[in-house]
Chains A and B, each alone.
Chain A
């Protein structure tokens, strides 16, 4: 590896990623960030100090061996880097794109103490994209067994659990209520952040592991969780139905035409392709001047979808300041570049109608920050007499979601006070053999946390089923044969394809 790197010898500047110019990208749904070229990835990899105490690993919710994969990458062993990632994550191409790295791995990177931190997410994406392009997959080692497991919900938690169990030899069926799998990745996060091809590639890998996807299947109504075990022959169940139910503020005027949830806007635009209306049948409606309430990832997505869908003006309304905005830093910066008008320290009081039950504007008031509240964030308090009307035609609420009630009310599952599914430390629910994880247990969180929960649940399910070597099903396929960038056709593909 040559001379030891120090903060002074590494490239001082973080390697920039090519991005499409704001004026161009704001008119389409093609991806904004173009990814690293091999040379760029190599340069960025050389900025990692390979710290023995690995602070970044502790910053990652699933504890990816970050120096390990970056070291392989630095040796131009992309396949090897992919194997290191695969020991922990199923979805590097996705998490590399959507993780809030600044508050996770990159937030605690040693280099970040002095310079810009190592671009861990971008490197992870680079490896994930290479794996998709080359058709790599981590190879399962277990023989098919006789266990059948049902996974409810096809978001990141469900996908991760299904993959681990299939690799351990179980016959896995994933039930999804919508017509396409992917969960929030499909219906919520827009293509310009996470292209559908990436999701399709990941789902395709799962299908090739022998996992059976059953879309158009609303569990709870079509059959119950109890029936899965009692009548349908499943030995265990994993519930990963997300926290999809949108919240509204409960202020006057919320039922006016022109008020909608971010989930509705995004589902119409992403899953139903309403942006192509009238070539497809689902309309988005005339957006006109749009005001989006909230400043998380969902709000950023709603803002930027509006920008791309012919809105005249697009404003964000958030009651705290930019510093407290929960969105990923990159999305916030992108939204600013794309011309979104941000109203920080502003709280909606009422949606105002035009007399014909259509939105005319959003009555707001200014806020000031006082001492931090229980969550540690500065508490916003209204500024007296600061009311003003923000003229708009569409109001989108992106202020969070809660647990969907369908499974709760159609089963004996024990729920907590807020309606989320109660689990023990092994993610097992109050029902024997039924496990749960992801947003339906924690409330809205992140893709990587949901994925981590799916893998943890898979471990618990394997123990529950009495499968040996519950944690160690992963066998690296590359034995350090020094793969070079761009090299590939003879690489190994998939080891096991079908299940009985």
Chain B
């Protein structure tokens, strides 16, 4: 006899959009999570029964449609496989959330929301939440080049000012997001807070930039997680010399207190295993390939 052991949402993919060769967006049906989700939170996802539980930020949610949007960068076995398998109509095996503490927007009158690369996606709901709470929002989004730009219009709609940066200068100002932040700081003396989401090096760069200005700075940390419920301790990070669990105490923390070296080294914990899994998977794909693609 089949047991009812999941929430009856089935976690079906209702929309899919490829943002680049290595990044894509899926809109997933889950009315419960869509209703509860708040900016800054994430979900734990398993794409199949033997899959890994991985954390993904809720990049958007639509309470009416009962969906959440995930923006995923295909970096290793799990996310590459999701890139290949998660078409419209496919379903995730498991989805739990929303997890983590929501972003705090109260009392902030002027804020800079910084997203770097794929970090642009998780920054979006945070910027929107600040806008809704009445803050003046300055968006700073950075990409490597013009063809990787996404969600510029979405950002414009929730920002009072938007600064686009690109490494190669093909769009917006040339330079890293820190260039954009420097511009914003020079134009506004009354910034209450800056929030930055992106690769750890970028977040550290932002923290170092704002430190001398005494601007309160928040970053969303991305350590390796297993359960996401505070039970394994795998996601522990060092903040202000104390051990914190990113999945329940975070993922947002005071950037000036975060030990980024610790975070970055802990992200390398499973390097050999990640490589093995990816190599093995790619080999599987190559072996499977002749059946899908007729030679010639």
Tell me which residues across on chain A come within 8 A of B1, comparing CB atoms: 204, 207-208
Given contacts A244-B229, A405-B248, contact A282 B52 (CB under 8 A): yes
How far apart sit A273 and B226, CA to CA, in the bound complex (Å)?
Answer: 12
Are B265 and A404 touching (Cβ within 8 A)? no
How far apart sit A260 and B231, CA to CA, in the bound complex (Å)?
Answer: 12
Are A267 and B231 touching (Cβ within 8 A)? yes
Partner of B78, one of A207, A244, A260, A281: A281
Partner of A221, one of B5, B46, B97, B236: B97
Label chain A's interface by main secondary structure.
Answer: loop
Tell me which residues across on chain A come within 8 A of B53, comparing CB atoms: 179, 272, 282
Instruction: Report the stretch among B19-27, B202-210, B270-278 that lies at the interface.
Output: B270-278
Partner of A179, one of B96, B97, B265, B277: B96
A18 within 8 A of B: no
Tell me which residues across on chain A come within 8 A of B231, comparing CB atoms: 187, 244-246, 263, 267, 404
Return B95 CB to nearest CB of chain A, in Å: 6
Chain B's closest residue to A281 (CB) is: B52
Are A255 and B262 touching (Cβ within 8 A)? yes
Partner of A278, one of B33, B41, B280: B280
B227 within 8 A of A: yes
B142 within 8 A of A: no
Return B52 CB to nearest CB of chain A, in Å: 4
How far apart sit A217 and B31, CA to CA, in the bound complex (Å)?
Answer: 13
Are B99 and A218 touching (Cβ within 8 A)? yes
Are B272 and A286 touching (Cβ within 8 A)? yes
A216 within 8 A of B: yes
How far apart sit A179 and B54, CA to CA, in the bound complex (Å)?
Answer: 13
Which of A180, A207, A283 gathers the greatest number of chain B CB atoms within 10 Å? A283
A212 within 8 A of B: yes
A248 within 8 A of B: yes
How far apart sit A141 and B231, CA to CA, in the bound complex (Å)?
Answer: 38
Are A263 and B232 touching (Cβ within 8 A)? yes
Partner of A264, one of B51, B233, B265: B233
Given contacts A222-B32, A405-B230, contact A248 B270 (CB under 8 A): no
B128 within 8 A of A: no
B199 within 8 A of A: no
Return B180 CB to nearest CB of chain A, in Å: 32
Tell me which residues across on chain B come within 8 A of A268, comparing CB atoms: 226, 232
How far apart sit A282 and B268, CA to CA, in the bound complex (Å)?
Answer: 15
The 0/1 profile, CB within 8 Å of A marked 1, for residues 207-232 of chain B is 00000000000000000001111111
Please give 7 more A-B residue pairs, beta carbons under 8 A apart, in addition to A187-B227, A257-B265, A281-B52.
Answer: A179-B6, A213-B3, A214-B6, A217-B7, A222-B97, A255-B266, A261-B234
- Which residues of A are interface residues toward B (Cβ below 8 A)? 177-181, 187, 203-204, 207-208, 212-218, 221-223, 244-246, 248, 250, 254-255, 257, 260-261, 263-264, 267-268, 272-273, 276-283, 285-286, 357, 404-406
A sample of 26 cross-chain residue pairs with beta-carbon separation below 8 angstroms, ordered by A number, consists of: A179-B96, A181-B5, A187-B231, A215-B94, A216-B96, A218-B97, A218-B229, A221-B99, A222-B33, A222-B97, A222-B98, A245-B231, A245-B233, A246-B233, A255-B236, A257-B266, A264-B234, A268-B226, A268-B232, A277-B277, A281-B51, A281-B277, A283-B277, A406-B229, A406-B230, A406-B248
